[in-house]
Chains A and B, each alone.
Chain A
Amino acid sequence: MAIFETTRRDFLIGTGALVVSLRLASPALGQGPGAKPVALDQVDSFLAVNKDGTVTMYTGKVDIGTGIRVALPQMVAEELDVALDRVTLVEGDTALTPDQGPTWGSLSVQVAGVQLRQAAATARRALMDMAAQRLGAPAGDLGVKDGVVFVRAEPSRRVSYAELIADRRFDLKVDKDAPLKNPKDHILVGQPAPRPDVLAKVTGAHTYAQDFRLPGMLHARVVRPPAMGATLQGVDESSIQGIKGGPRVVRQGNFLAVVATSEWAAVKAARQLKATWSTWEGLPEQSKLWEHVRSTPIAKDDVAVDRGNPKAAIASAARTLKATYDFAVHTHGSMGPSCAVADVRGDKARIWSPSQAPHWLRREVAATLQIDPAGVHIQYLDGAGCYGRNGHEDATCDAALVSKLVGKPVRVQWSREDEHGWDPKGPPTLVEITAGLDAQGNIVGWDSELWVPKADITEWPRTLAATLAGIPQTPAINPGNIHRNLDPSYPFANQKAVAHRLESTPFRPSWIRTPGRMQNTYANEVFIDECAAAASADPVEYRLRYLTDPRGIAVLRAAANLARWDARPSPRRDPQTGSIARGRGIAYVKYENARTYVAGVAEVEVNRTTGAIRCTRFTVAHDCGQIINPDGVRAQIEGNIIQTVSRTLKEELRWNRSRVTSVDWASYPILRFPEVPEVVMELINRPTEPPWGVGEPAACLPPPAISNAVFDAIGVRLRSVPFAPTKVMAALKTTTPPRA
């Protein structure tokens, strides 16, 4: 098990950066009598007070680069009144941590943090009761400072948490009514705190999954079919003879791999191995993708909202607008290809994986190995940034299967081509919206349709290893909750939004950062801009006609103010000479119409000669309720914006009828330093509100805000992500430019 351990003496430099040491100890499996509890209703599942007064806390969530490695300890340290550097976090060890769900959906602080905090509040109350008895004073007369309880009127009468409970269990259920500290007394929550892993990461002292090694471990590479649905017809094992290190072939069904004692020998063998595969051309023609999507059978319709009578309202409206928005297939594009280590012995498997969902992954590993999930023990180790279900789970099952087949510990490292070519994809998304406007240009009816694959939301996507090896698995597809935010974030009197859930989609889908909410907000927020333009209204003023939620109004106004919003209708009418035209666009959303409020302004430069768009500045206003770590919130917003500007302007998976062809950074380019916008923001902190998610909401903003800014600049509507220069040039040819 790996413990991210921080201690006071490790404080190193002015900002309080911490050293993280990775302590590898023998595992204490979470089963059987005496095992550490992991149930979600037990205080002991979440935390323990140690003899030295430090606190160990446990979470099933993992820090995939988001900074929860410090945010969750801030919440617990605050509630317990212990110093932050005396709290140690154990994350993602399936034997030691409670299953708090996968690390997805911007829910780590909002759900897991709140669970941990409630456990800490329950523990604190129990500790105060014990102290009251020990000190012979009523609990109400006691105070706590850094884990030491004292009688307020007589501070020399004191007892430490360690003396009260060290190394013993609380044996308490988490009490949902245990009182929380008053936010006005918070000293850690709401303050920036540095992440404990950054100094180790910048000095090479941090152990990533890619760095993890076991004694006697073999290196494996999986040999992928040249066509996604091809079957293996033959393998010429002699083709890898002579490679030093004696690599050998491992095969089950269509699952083909090579193993070797040295990594380079495995790489060479994978490249050199001659195998014969059947042909397969089951992918749709890329140029006909949207026809393919529209003609895919519909499994069912999900109605996101149905209020009033939008059809009648639109039919009797003074003016009708209709537009279609499409959003390309995206890959996760993690910087480090997926990697995992597995040691399978009979019906037991030890796994080291960077999966965002170690608890759930037990099921997939067990299914791959055809053993009981109880025999699978997974330890999370950091991988490269994970923005959803990328290739980590597949690489993990690859490693498990190869380890089973060779009877030794095995490390599988995917290649760049594996990652770009075979990770599950964000599915193609199509939205069509119709609205009716009255004579004043106000929206009187809103009717939208979404075409996306169905979702077996509690099932995992099928793994490559099981699919290729012919191991039975649930025939599920799961692209995540991609219907969310289809309903607009405005309370129009007449509105309907329907998601057509398709039976299939060309690529094995999964969730990529802000799944569906990004695509739906893009359509909604461009479309409302189109309505504003039709009404010759300022886009901010137009949105404020409908918004009634005070927190929504606050973020919209804050973003506009911070960006020095120039109130006027789009497109701009002043003559812009030269090839560069500038514009600004806004977007707003209440995430899932249930939590974090965000608004953003994009400022763009459009080159009218080349069609190239540059987003120069992006301004965000953000209300996630109670802020735990403002520096962490800022980092997440920066990441949301920059990554999504990349997705919006540049990214599109390419394929032929057999396979993905955009399999490296040349064929799937992402944003580079010279193209990165300046990101500025205002955080609205509401300490008395619940803490909401931060890792995804702001990523809704760039596609619509940039589209709206381009319209402002050159009068051209972009309705197809990515906003490639060719699309801009084509649109310019068919659009009459605005006249001054």
Chain B
Amino acid sequence: MVTLSVNGTTHRLDVEPDTPLLYVLRDDLALHGPKFGCGLAQCGACTVLLDGRAVRSCSIPVSRVGKAKVVTLEGLGTPQNPHPVQRAFAEEQAAQCGYCVSGMVMQTAAFLSQRRASPSDVEIRQALQANLCRCGTHQRIIAAVKRAAALMGKGA
């Protein structure tokens, strides 16, 4: 049995200890925000927050999560009450297929939470450089990160 804190709720789960966190979230907890993209920590589609840090859930065995608090896309906000980053992505229409966008939102949430000032274009590009998008939505995602920073009251 593994004990896991996800989106503020503690779960006791009968899963194999080597199961990647991503599979536990998606299959056992029905949290479909994090996506399976590569299973190799190369694309970022599976990104979740672990104690506020953005990590690749496809490559972390659930037994290694320990007491760390996991937050998924669903834990960030809901359609009725979206997180400012989610709201910014919707307002900028920063998704085409949207498959990578969960990871983009989580990476952005972690990135902005550590900053006081609004990030520059170059800083945003650097912060998201390990997150891949195939549809070519990058320009809107950069705009969404800026909008999110403004919504979160980040200084100039």
Partner of B96, one of A12, A66, A200: A66
Report B-chain residues with C-beta under 8 Å of the C-beta of A202. Answer: 73, 82, 86, 89-90, 94-95, 98, 101-102, 105
Given contacts A13-B87, A639-B96, contact A19 B79 (CB under 8 A): yes
Partner of A195, one of B23, B93, B99: B93
Interface centre among B42, B105, B138 (most CB of A within 10 A): B138
In the complex, are the beta carbons of B39 and A415 less than 8 A apart? yes
In the complex, are the beta carbons of B42 and A631 less than 8 A apart? no
Given contacts A13-B90, A264-B23, contact A385 B126 (CB under 8 A): no
Task: Report A330-355 residues with CB < 8 Å from chain B CB.
Answer: 333-337
B62 to A, closest residue via Cβ: A264
In the complex, are the beta carbons of A665 and B132 less than 8 A apart? yes
**Does A79 make an interface contact (CB < 8 A)?**
no
**Does A199 make an interface contact (CB < 8 A)?**
yes
A197 to B, closest residue via Cβ: B98
In the complex, are the beta carbons of A208 and B38 less than 8 A apart? no
Q: How many chain A residues have a CB neighbour from B under 8 Å?
A: 66
Report A-chain residues with C-beta under 8 Å of the C-beta of B137. Answer: 635, 638-639, 642
Contact with B along A385-416 (1 / 0, CB 8 A): 11100000000000000000000000001011
**Does A383 make an interface contact (CB < 8 A)?**
yes
Partner of A416, one of B26, B40, B89, B98: B40
In the complex, are the beta carbons of B72 and A204 less than 8 A apart? yes
**Does B114 make an interface contact (CB < 8 A)?**
no
Report B-chain residues with C-beta under 8 Å of the C-beta of A208. Answer: 32, 35, 99
In the complex, are the beta carbons of A65 and B42 less than 8 A apart? no
Q: How far is the CA of A499 from the CA of B151 in the complex (A)?
A: 55
Report B-chain residues with C-beta under 8 Å of the C-beta of A666. Answer: 40, 42
Given contacts A13-B87, A672-B132, contact A336 B139 (CB under 8 A): no
Q: How far is the CA of A383 from the CA of B99 in the complex (A)?
A: 8
Q: How far is the CA of A11 from the CA of B94 in the complex (A)?
A: 18
Given contacts A65-B96, A639-B137, A664-B42, contact A335 B74 (CB under 8 A): no
Q: How far is the CA of A422 from the CA of B134 in the complex (A)?
A: 18
**Does A235 make an interface contact (CB < 8 A)?**
no
Report A-chain residues with C-beta under 8 Å of the C-beta of B32. Answer: 204, 207-208, 210-211
Partner of A641, one of B33, B43, B136: B136
Task: Report A596-650 residues with CB < 8 Å from chain B CB.
Answer: 631, 635, 638-643, 646
In the complex, are the beta carbons of A65 and B97 less than 8 A apart? yes
B43 to A, closest residue via Cβ: A665
Binds B, one of A152-160, A519-527, A582-590, A673-681: A673-681
**Does A670 make an interface contact (CB < 8 A)?**
yes
Q: How far is the CA of A386 from the CA of B135 in the complex (A)?
A: 9
Report A-chain residues with C-beta under 8 Å of the C-beta of B125. Answer: 673-674, 676
Report A-chain residues with C-beta under 8 Å of the C-beta of B138. Answer: 638, 642, 673, 676
Task: Report B33-76 residues with CB < 8 Å from chain A CB.
Answer: 33, 35-40, 42-43, 45, 72-74, 76
Q: How far is the CB of A549 from chain B (nearest CB, A)?
A: 28
Contact with A along B134-150 (1 / 0, CB 8 A): 11111110100000000
Report A-chain residues with C-beta under 8 Å of the C-beta of B131. Answer: 673
Partner of A679, one of B16, B42, B122, B139: B139
**Does B110 make an interface contact (CB < 8 A)?**
no
Q: How far is the CA of A416 from the CA of B37 in the complex (A)?
A: 7
Report A-chain residues with C-beta under 8 Å of the C-beta of B77. Answer: 203
If over half of B's interface residues share one DSSP class (helix, strand or loop), that class is named, otherwise mixed; here it is loop
Q: How far is the CB of A404 from chain B (nearest CB, A)?
A: 24
Q: How far is the CB of A438 from chain B (nearest CB, A)?
A: 41
Q: How far is the CB of A412 from chain B (nearest CB, A)?
A: 13
**Does B129 make an interface contact (CB < 8 A)?**
yes
**Does A244 make an interface contact (CB < 8 A)?**
yes
In the complex, are the beta carbons of A203 and B27 less than 8 A apart? no
Report B-chain residues with C-beta under 8 Å of the C-beta of A197. Answer: 95, 98
In the complex, are the beta carbons of B79 and A335 less than 8 A apart? no
In the complex, are the beta carbons of A664 and B40 less than 8 A apart? yes
Report A-chain residues with C-beta under 8 Å of the C-beta of B91. Answer: 13-15, 17
Q: How far is the CB of B86 from chain A (nearest CB, A)?
A: 5
B144 to A, closest residue via Cβ: A202
In the complex, are the beta carbons of B80 and A12 less than 8 A apart? yes
In the complex, are the beta carbons of B93 and A204 less than 8 A apart? no
Q: How far is the CB of A410 from chain B (nearest CB, A)?
A: 15
Report B-chain residues with C-beta under 8 Å of the C-beta of A674. Answer: 122, 125-126, 129
Q: How far is the CA of A333 from the CA of B135 in the complex (A)?
A: 10
Q: How far is the CB of B121 from chain A (nearest CB, A)?
A: 9
Q: How far is the CA of A14 from the CA of B84 in the complex (A)?
A: 13
Q: How far is the CA of A12 from the CA of B82 in the complex (A)?
A: 10
Q: How far is the CB of A494 from chain B (nearest CB, A)?
A: 39
Report B-chain residues with C-beta under 8 Å of the C-beta of A635. Answer: 93, 96, 137, 140
Report A-chain residues with C-beta under 8 Å of the C-beta of B128. Answer: 673
In the complex, are the beta carbons of B97 and A64 less than 8 A apart? yes
Partner of A65, one of B35, B36, B135: B135
**Does B113 make an interface contact (CB < 8 A)?**
no
Q: How far is the CA of A678 from the CA of B101 in the complex (A)?
A: 20
Q: How far is the CB of A685 from chain B (nearest CB, A)?
A: 19
Report A-chain residues with C-beta under 8 Å of the C-beta of B90. Answer: 13, 15, 17, 194, 198-199, 202
B44 to A, closest residue via Cβ: A335
Q: How far is the CA of A678 from the CA of B121 in the complex (A)?
A: 11
**Does A263 make an interface contact (CB < 8 A)?**
yes
Interface centre among A67, A194, A387, A643 (most CB of B within 10 A): A643
Report B-chain residues with C-beta under 8 Å of the C-beta of A307. Answer: none
Q: How far is the CA of A672 from the CA of B20 in the complex (A)?
A: 26
Q: How far is the CB of A63 from chain B (nearest CB, A)?
A: 9
Q: How far is the CB of B31 from chain A (nearest CB, A)?
A: 7
**Does A201 make an interface contact (CB < 8 A)?**
yes
Q: How far is the CA of A646 from the CA of B134 in the complex (A)?
A: 9
Q: How far is the CA of A679 from the CA of B82 in the complex (A)?
A: 29
In the complex, are the beta carbons of B100 and A335 less than 8 A apart? yes
Report B-chain residues with C-beta under 8 Å of the C-beta of A200. Answer: 79
Can you give 26 A-B contacts (C-beta < 8 A)?
A12-B82, A67-B96, A194-B93, A195-B93, A202-B90, A202-B102, A202-B105, A203-B86, A204-B72, A208-B99, A210-B36, A262-B15, A263-B27, A264-B16, A264-B18, A264-B20, A334-B97, A335-B43, A335-B133, A383-B99, A643-B135, A664-B40, A665-B42, A666-B42, A673-B128, A673-B131
* Closest 9 pairs between A and B when the two form their complex, measured CB to CB: A204-B33, A642-B136, A65-B97, A385-B97, A201-B98, A639-B136, A384-B99, A211-B32, A65-B96
